[in-house]
């Protein structure tokens, strides 16, 4: 499994420290507390950031209702759907609820699901973002050192696959539904990539 803390630290500039017990709770699955840890580390150097609250919103501890068998941990940015996990479970399945009567398991691994979610949020969190009409195999021909980090993974909708690639630990590419986005916080690198892909 991808080391999210290390990946995020290289892009966002916080120190990738050892895991603390700040968010440890027997009722909250570890993949969720791992994201809380990343957010807390980034908050120390960028207090007003919107990490994990851009495209879809991660529910933080103070907003969790852990009284039942399942709890909501993720909400779509317009509130059209929610995702739930089991309490007291290390790596729960993910339950999708469209708030209109559809409720189903969409992933058997919370860890895998949240990795896809987190990389999506990282893509939209960086300072410079652009969308492209290029496919990954075309981009690979231009940037020989591009690295696959998470490919052909489903997110909320199983027929919508996400793939992520990084370049020089400064640029992330996201390919989903035929569209490619790339983002970075390095303006010079952003302009250089744009010039290559015109």
Domain ranges of the chain: 1-124, 126-198
Residue 75 CA: distances (Å) to CA of 104, 153, 181, 185:
15, 20, 22, 26
Average pLDDT, 10 consecutive residues per value, the chain (198 residues): 90 77 76 93 93 96 91 95 91 93 93 97 96 89 94 90 95 93 96 90
Of 76, 78, 40, 46, the residue nearest 61 (C-alpha):
40
Residue 129 CA: distances (Å) to CA of 31, 87, 157, 180, 189:
27, 36, 23, 11, 12
Task: Round to whole Å and give the CA distance between 92 and 110.
Answer: 5
Using a cut of 0.85, tell me whether the model's pTM lies above it: yes
pLDDT digits (tens, 9 = 90+) for 53-94: 999 999 998 889 999 999 999 999 999 999 999 998 878 999
CB 70 within 8 A of CB 83: no
């Amino acid at each position: 499994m991808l080391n999210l803390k290390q990946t995020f630290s290289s892009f966002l500039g916080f120190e990738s420290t050892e895991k603390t017990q700040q968010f440890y709770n027997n009722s909250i699955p570890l993949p969720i507390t791992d994201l809380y840890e990343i957010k807390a580390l980034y908050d120390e150097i960028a207090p007003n950031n919107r990490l994990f609250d851009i495209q879809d919103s991660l529910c933080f501890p103070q907003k969790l209702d852990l009284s039942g068998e399942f709890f909501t941990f993720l909400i779509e940015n317009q509130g059209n759907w929610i995702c739930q996990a089991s309490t007291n479970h290390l790596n729960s399945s993910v339950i999708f609820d469209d708030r209109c009567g559809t409720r189903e398991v969409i992933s058997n691994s919370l860890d895998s699901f949240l990795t896809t979610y987190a990389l999506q949020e990282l893509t939209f969190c960086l300072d410079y973002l652009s969308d492209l009409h290029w496919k990954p195999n075309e981009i690979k021909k231009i940037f020989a050192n591009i690295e696959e980090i998470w490919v052909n993974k489903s997110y909320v909708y199983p027929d919508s696959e996400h793939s992520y690639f990084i370049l020089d630990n400064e640029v992330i590419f996201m390919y989903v539904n035929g569209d490619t986005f790339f983002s970075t916080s390095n303006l010079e690198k952003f302009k250089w990539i744009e010039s290559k892909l015109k």
